[in-house]
Chain A
Amino acid sequence: MADSSVRTGDRLIADRTYLDATSTEPLRPAARAVLLAALDEGWADPARLHSEARRARLLYDNAREVVAAELRCRADEVSFPASGTAAVASGLTGLLRGRRRAGDVLVHTAVEHSAVLRVASQHAAAGGRCTSVPVAADGRVDVEDLTRALDQDGAAALACQWASLESSAVQPVETVARACAERELPWFADLAAGAGRLPVPSGWAVASASAHKWGGPAGVGVLVVRHGSRWRDPAPRDDRLDPRVPGYENVPAVLAAAAALQDMAGDADRARRQRHLSDRLRRELPRLVPATVVVGPDDERLPHVVSCSFLYVDGEALVHELDRQGLAVASGSACTASTLEPSHVLAAMGVLTHGNIRVGLTADTGPGDVDRLLSVLPGVVESLRERVGAPR
């Protein structure tokens, strides 16, 4: 008979180096402590009037205020849907609905998160128009192409990410904000990659983020709709604390998410340390491994992300071999995805898509972890190249 009882992992993973913060940052200890305390204190229905409810409500309001302060907006503009993807779907779809009379063209960059591209497909399927703005080889959007797209008749909104967890590129957000303001076009900003890591840009109308990317718990997305934005809720409205997100609030999780954001954003030294480590990886990898392509810009990039591609290497085999040697990294190569298609971000940049790894430094990653990767990678790449018979 199958054992259907709930179990947790029963094996300790010893001597591992986790370098996949682009997929998820491990839960911050500060967030874990808050989560455990809030499970005891914030379980009651925050929409009721009794003492237990008011206590939960207090924690919920506190979470909104903390997140609002970090994202430079007002507390009542912040919502907590169940994921970053849900935040994108609701935020961008609602913006397009609100702008229906102004126009039907969604302008977006070619390197947006797949959640944004799925909203674009849905918009196109419903008869709307979309313009995809290309990026340069370093992953940054071309400002002239962007403004030309915004100047077309019927332009309704711009979806432009702050930064990319795939390429590490930070977009020219000040120019983007100015271009949108000059044309009175709303900017939808996917803030997921940079929140808690770099000073948050302003000038957007609607934004999305995801708490597990900054060391909060899973299941907490962030949607911000600025006052004055023409945004029409695509879902039926609920009559609880926040009409933008239907259903019962997960008070402990959102409070832990807020604690993690505060913890990450409050540590300015971490970003400096990470930049130093990622600079080192970007410098050393092509020196130690021949025929290596380092992805993304040298300066305008996220401090904790390094993406590179090794010529003639099978990305799936590379991830497995590094894992066998105790290192966890992500990859944008086609063979590591559920489809045969390589990462649309790498493809849009025109950089080598095979043999790709994406290193995401966590808040606890130290020089020793980078040393370990640098000592293991050259040999692994060489043996994988030999295995496929690559020319020397």
Chain B
Amino acid sequence: MTASVTLDCRGMRCPQPVVELARTAAGLGNCEVLLLADDPATEVDVPAWCRLRGATLLESGRDERQRWFRVAVSGEAQRGA
């Protein structure tokens, strides 16, 4: 079973949403994270983090109030920053 977690980072400014994502990923190992954010920088920085850290961006979207990112994290890739 892969753990699934929702991370509400609305109201946080860069780089905090990406830091929260990384901390969650480091703590859970293999998992799927739904990240909610309203900082415009996440639109670029979450996909960039996924590429840098070997995670997979499964889906992303936005409406007027927020952005969301569904990220599959592999525990293997998170060891050693």
Are A and B interaction partners? yes
Which of A264-272, A300-308, A332-340 interfaces with chain B? A332-340
CB distance from B80 to the nearest CB of A (A): 9
Residues on B with C-beta less than 8 A from A390 are: 19, 22-23, 81
CA distance in complex: A339, B16 (Å): 17
CA distance in complex: A342, B14 (Å): 10
A312 touches B44 (CB 8 A): no
**Max chain A CB contacts within 10 Å: which of B14, B22, B39, B49?**
B14
The yes or no answer to A341 lying at the interface (CB within 8 A) is: yes
Residues on A with C-beta less than 8 A from B39 are: 334, 340
Residues on B with C-beta less than 8 A from A355 are: 15
Residues on A lying within 8 angstroms of B by beta carbon are: 290-291, 293, 311-315, 333-335, 340-342, 346-347, 350-355, 388-392
The yes or no answer to B13 lying at the interface (CB within 8 A) is: yes
CA distance in complex: A384, B81 (Å): 15
**Given known contacts A291-B81, A340-B13, A334 and B52 CB-to-CB distance under 8 angstroms:** no
CA distance in complex: A312, B12 (Å): 13
A293 touches B44 (CB 8 A): no
CB distance from B75 to the nearest CB of A (A): 13
CA distance in complex: A340, B43 (Å): 12
Residues on A with C-beta less than 8 A from B18 are: 311-312, 354
Residues on B with C-beta less than 8 A from A342 are: 14, 40-41, 44-45
Residues on B with C-beta less than 8 A from A291 are: 52, 81
CA distance in complex: A350, B78 (Å): 21
CA distance in complex: A271, B41 (Å): 34
Residues on B lying within 8 angstroms of A by beta carbon are: 13-16, 18-19, 22-23, 25-26, 39-41, 43-45, 47-49, 52, 78, 81
Residues on A with C-beta less than 8 A from B25 are: 391
A389 touches B44 (CB 8 A): no
Residues on A with C-beta less than 8 A from B16 are: 388
Residue of chain A at shortest CB distance from B26: A391
**Given known contacts A342-B41, A347-B43, A350-B44, A313 and B15 CB-to-CB distance under 8 angstroms:** yes
CA distance in complex: A334, B40 (Å): 9
Partner of B81, one of A290, A352, A388: A290
CA distance in complex: A290, B52 (Å): 12
B48 touches A314 (CB 8 A): no
Residues on A with C-beta less than 8 A from B13 are: 334-335, 340
Residues on A with C-beta less than 8 A from B47 are: 350
CA distance in complex: A355, B14 (Å): 9
Residue of chain B at shortest CB distance from A341: B40
**Given known contacts A333-B14, A334-B41, A340-B13, A352 and B48 CB-to-CB distance under 8 angstroms:** yes
CB distance from A237 to the nearest CB of B (A): 42
CB distance from A271 to the nearest CB of B (A): 31
CB distance from A338 to the nearest CB of B (A): 13
Residues on A with C-beta less than 8 A from B40 are: 334, 340-342
CA distance in complex: A133, B81 (Å): 34
Partner of A293, one of B15, B26, B43, B52: B52
Residues on B with C-beta less than 8 A from A392 are: 81
Partner of A312, one of B19, B41, B43, B78: B19
A351 touches B15 (CB 8 A): no
B52 touches A311 (CB 8 A): yes
Residues on B with C-beta less than 8 A from A340 are: 13, 39-41
B19 touches A346 (CB 8 A): no
CA distance in complex: A354, B26 (Å): 20
A352 touches B44 (CB 8 A): yes
16 contacts between A and B (CB under 8 A): A311-B15, A311-B18, A311-B81, A312-B15, A313-B15, A314-B14, A352-B48, A353-B44, A353-B48, A354-B15, A355-B15, A388-B16, A388-B19, A390-B22, A390-B23, A391-B25
B81 touches A354 (CB 8 A): no
CB distance from B62 to the nearest CB of A (A): 14
CA distance in complex: A375, B69 (Å): 37
**Max chain B CB contacts within 10 Å: which of A315, A355, A391?**
A391
